[in-house]
Structure 1
Amino acid sequence: MSARLLLATRNPGKLAELRRLLDSAVPGVAVLGLRDVPGYPEAPETGATFAENALLKAREAVRHTRLAAVADDSGLTVDALNGMPGVLSARWSGRHGDDAANTALLLGQLADVPDGRRGAAFVCAAAVVTPGGAERVVERSWRGEVVREPRGANGFGYDPVFLPDGLERTAAELTAAEKDARSHRGQALAALVPLVAELLGRR
């Protein structure tokens, strides 16, 4: 019988990404999303770190569904802003998920910062929690800098203003496959896969 694993997201892109990684590394695991299970009240992300928020979301998913669960939390940390917006990335402008407003506020805050001091990193923490109480969390980052004008139509969030180190295209100008191979989330999920295999007894 195949094992079932819940990815605590409604984002089809994240589901597809985790399914791709698990299919090759951990055969026989059915990955479900929040749309595939009965709805439950999702706890607010009150953690002070990405890891705390990822664990909070995974624990809530296990508590309500009794399935092993994976959750992630991610955001942009900007050197000139002392690591902000960080865990507040999705609601930096005061409205959760308003990508345009968040990006406009960030660019305004960095308007006077010279090009050599616009370093930043996308950070992702990914956690897996089982009904038996086992927990694992990994964190990965993707370094780059914040450009002055949005470029590209792929991706979401701050992707159009994030220029990864060593590239001449923003994260929003990369293909999905290129981004998966380099991104903070791709790295974190890839690092989590062997831990998922261990916890589900699929090594």
Structure 2
Amino acid sequence: MREPRLVVIASHNRSKSREIEQLLRAGLADLPVEIRLLADYADAPPPPDENADSYVGNAVIKARACAAFTRAISFADDAGLEIDALGGKPGMYSRRFAGEQTPFPVKMSLLLEMLKDVPAERRTARFRCAVAIATPDGACHTFEDTLEGRIADAPRGQAGFGYDPIFYVPSLGCTLAELPAEFKNRISHRAKVMRQAIPCLRALQQYADN
């Protein structure tokens, strides 16, 4: 039996990493792969500065830093909520909007207040997600995708995390936070970009075995 090869998710955020881990395990289920979180390493370095000017750039920074530390294939993502009526904000600063330590219910309340006079047809928005897969030799592969929707009038649903309760998907008639995790993991922005990234991870795994 082949020894499992290691893939490390370059994140200290366990709630977000749980979703990524589920998607990775589903896509790599037939391969001998061990999936860990960077947060599982007691001596893991703090998150690097995400100072790139794009989602892809930030994902690359995190993936390469993780690969350099773990000497393993490393997976990182960067995502944000882009609201058209707010000029694309909060965008790349979604996590840091109104302060990094501010709870998401407060962040959502602030955004809803900013949009209180904006009619439904102008509340269009999207989640954008970029993924980077870095190897210990410095190579990096990147992918990006989006999920279109609009901002609801009020938070709805208890599932998901982040801005999911206010992201309404018209084709489904509900917010992301109203969807069961297994369904969200088929249609979300992160799920869509993972469908691009999984074949790359599989190819890297198979290449390493040759």
Aligned-pair CA distance for 1:75 = 1.2
Aligned pair partner of 1:180 in 182, 185, 191: 185
Aligned pairs for 1:1-203 (under 5 A) are 1-10=3-12, 11=14, 12-24=18-30, 27-37=31-41, 38-96=43-101, 98-201=103-206
Q: Distance in 2 between matches of 1:89 and 1:200?
A: 33
CA contact (8 A) 1:9 1:15 kept: no
Q: Gaps (5+ residues) in structure 2?
A: none
2:76 is paired with a residue whose SS is: strand
Structure 1 Cα separation of the partners of residues 62 and 119 of structure 2: 37
What's the CA shift for 1:108? Answer: 1.2
Q: Cα distance 1:170–1:31, how it changes in 2: closer, same or farther (>3 A)?
A: same
Q: How big is the alpha-carbon RMSD for the aligned residues of Structure 1 and Structure 2?
A: 1.6
Residues in 1 aligned to 2:89 and 2:106: alpha-carbon distance in whole angstroms: 16
Amino acid at match of 1:102: K
8 A contact 2:75–2:132 mirrored in 1: yes
CA deviations on 1:101-139 (whole Å, 9 max, x unpaired) are 211111111111111100000111011000112111100
Deviation at 1:3, TM superposition (A): 1.2
CA distance in 2, matches of 1:35, 1:128: 17
Percent of aligned pairs sharing the same letter: 36
Matched residue SS, 1:35: helix
Q: 1:23 aligns to what SS in structure 2?
A: coil
Residue 80 of structure 1: how far off its partner (Å): 0.8
Counterpart amino acid of residue 124 in structure 1:
C
Contact 2:143/2:196 (8 A) holds in 1: yes
CA distance in 2, matches of 1:33, 1:118: 36
- Count of residues in Structure 1 that have an aligned counterpart in Structure 2: 201
Consecutive unaligned residues of structure 1, counting only runs of 5 or more, are none
Q: Secondary structure at the match of 1:105?
A: helix
State TM-score, norm by structure 1.
0.93
- Taking the aligned partners of 1:2 and 1:97, their CA distance within structure 2 comes to 39
